[in-house]
Amino acid sequence: MGGYILKNSWWDGLPPGPTWKHARGSHSLSWFLQDISLQDEARLCPNAHSPESWFACTDIAGCRDRKTRTFARGMNRPLHLECIDSSPFVHGMCAAGERFFLQGIHSWGAGLSVGCFLRDDGRPSTSSGKKDPGVTDKDGVGASNHWLDEGGAVLGVPSSRGGASKPSEKSYQGAAVVCSPPVPVEDLALVFQPVAEEQYLNHPDLCGFYFFPYELADTIRATGDGSFEVDDFDIHWSESSYAANAHLYPDMDYTLVKADTLRQEQVVRAKPFLRPQDAAASWGDGAGGSPGQGPGTSG
């Protein structure tokens, strides 16, 4: 078990050009060291383009609810999605510019998942469960071949000869539900993306770390299809190497060093909420408090 924690210059989000066919995200070093909470990590490295970071909601009324928006924003997770339809692998799920909510991502097996999305067409939502007259079942996936049950849960996928490689659409409580064929989760990031105002950015300094398992390195070496090497450098810099010590070495020119000296940001961890009386008690011991520990409690 275990692996290497790597810092790389790969991008976060959608691919930067046509050569790459998948989205990518990263984490902070503190995340891999298990030194930070999920909530704090979501603020540092939200990976907004990752489907696993999107906020899921069950029905169109709940998705549009103000409380849902508040929860999603508080967790730094995108709620409102739009179709970009730029995947080279999944076609016909939606038209570019259409608005959606994530209903859920369900494991299908073999490393694949089925993603189901609620189309937000702006019309009032219903709770009757009756089919919206404006919704059509695509590709022959209809009442006899449902992907979802009446609760919106994935029941299964028809055989590939019956259209498993194609998206399906049905209605759930008056809203169109569009489900993908079984795909790697990352592929959904090229079908949908968060709306512009919810494309939360990863911290450029603290994110960019990846985990490379030892087991994967052994597999690469065993297959003979490639090599895996790790180089380790142990460098000790002299005191005069740092721009902060320039005043100690007036005979040296620090122009280039200062130009390449940047500030390393630090991880800020959220503090738990305490009731006023608990917060006061944590500072002192009894009414008088403890010397040097802050104010005590009274009454």
Strand partners, 56: 102
Strand partners, 107: 113
Residue 78: the pLDDT is: 96
Q: How many CA atoms lie within 13 A of 18 on its CB side?
A: 0
Handedness of CA 281, 285, 288, 294 (dihedral sign): negative
Residue 163: the pLDDT is: 37
* Nearest-angstrom CA–CA distance, 281 and 290: 10
Residue 146: the pLDDT is: 36
Extents of the domains making up the chain: 48-198
Question: pLDDT tens, position by position, for the chain (299 residues)?
Answer: 788 898 888 888 888 877 777 788 899 999 999 888 888 999 999 999 999 999 999 999 999 999 999 999 999 999 999 999 988 888 888 999 999 999 999 999 888 999 999 999 877 665 444 443 333 333 333 332 334 444 444 444 433 333 345 666 665 555 689 999 999 998 999 999 999 999 999 998 899 999 989 888 888 878 776 666 767 788 898 999 999 999 999 999 999 999 988 877 777 777 665 555 544 444 444 433 333 333 333 33
Residue 291: the pLDDT is: 37
**Strand (E) or helix (H) holding 192:** strand 192-194
Start-to-end CA span in the chain (Å) = 54
Residue 111: the pLDDT is: 87
Residue 270: the pLDDT is: 72
Question: For the chain, what is the largest distance between any 2 Cα atoms, rounded to a whole number of angstroms?
Answer: 84
User: Is there a contact between 178 and 168 (Cβ–Cβ < 8 Å)?
Assistant: yes
Residue 287: the pLDDT is: 39
Q: How far is CA 136 from the centre of its chain?
A: 31
Q: How many CA atoms lie within 13 A of 282 on its CB side?
A: 8
